[in-house]
Chain A
Amino acid sequence: QTVVTQEPSFSVSPGGTVTLTCGLSSGSVSTSYYPSWYQQTPGQAPRTLIYSTNTRSSGVPDRFSGSILGNKAALTITGAQADDESDYYCVLYMGSGIYVFGTGTKVTVL
């Protein structure tokens, strides 16, 4: 089974920038995987941040951006705020209607 890997955790200072990545256990991530990103705070359902690599979902602040960096999908938070402290998950489309979530990254803002 394909594993989608994310950093377990990141710490960022308020106002700082952090880039989370989403990779494959085997192979490179490209736009053909249609990566999407979700933010989840404890006890809440996930919220869509980015889809199709770099399109922000409605209402998402422009401090969140998506891209492909090297062989991984990436989510960058520029000018981190306290309420960005959350878990972040990527999802990759594997074809044939199959999706795989990443392992998730816990972001701490301090």
Chain B
Amino acid sequence: QVTLKESGPVLVKPTETLTLTCTVSGFSLSNARLGVSWIRQPPGKALEWLAHIFSNDEKSYSTSLKSRLTISKDTSKRQVVLTMTNMDPVDTATYYCARMLGAVAGRGGWFDPWGQGTLVTVSS
């Protein structure tokens, strides 16, 4: 069974750096056909794709947030880590990680399954 689980702080202060961890099971982060993305959703608003990491460690980032994001992975720990710098109250959201399938040979993939999400509130 494939599962992903997000973990990290519930509350961060403005200007701080957020570090989130996605721990996966049921698949390997070294599988050439798979990757992991981070996606967020502010309360009552739409989903927003943030970043992706491929098995070969290639990374991609949202154009609008690229300067603030870093994604990395530790294959042996089965973990994908997202850091977001200079947090602001508008970054309050549920943060999801999701496995990506199908993104091979230049094709676009899809997200399946998703973790349960973790709510991060930015407030002083």
Contact surface of A with B, Cβ cutoff 8 Å: 1, 33-34, 36, 38, 40, 45-48, 51-52, 57, 89, 91-93, 96-104
Contacts and interface: CB of A to CB of B under 8 A. Distances in A.
B112 A57 contact: yes
A34 B54 CA distance: 18
Contact of A34 (B107, B116, B117): B107
Nearest to A87: B46
Contacts of B60: 96-98
A11 B37 CA distance: 32
Contact of B46 (A34, A93, A102): A102
A48 B109 CA distance: 12
A34 B110 contact: yes
B47 A93 contact: no
B46 A89 contact: yes
B4 to A, nearest CB: 9
B110 A51 contact: yes
B108 interface: yes
Residue among A48, A93, A99, A100 having the largest count of chain B Cβ atoms under 10 Å: A99
Contacts of B111: 36, 38, 46, 48, 91
Nearest to B6: A45
Given A46-B114, A91-B49, A93-B109, 11 more contacts: A34-B107, A34-B108, A45-B114, A51-B101, A52-B110, A97-B103, A98-B61, A98-B62, A101-B46, A101-B49, A104-B46
A46 B52 CA distance: 17
Interface string B93-124: 00010000111000111111111110000000
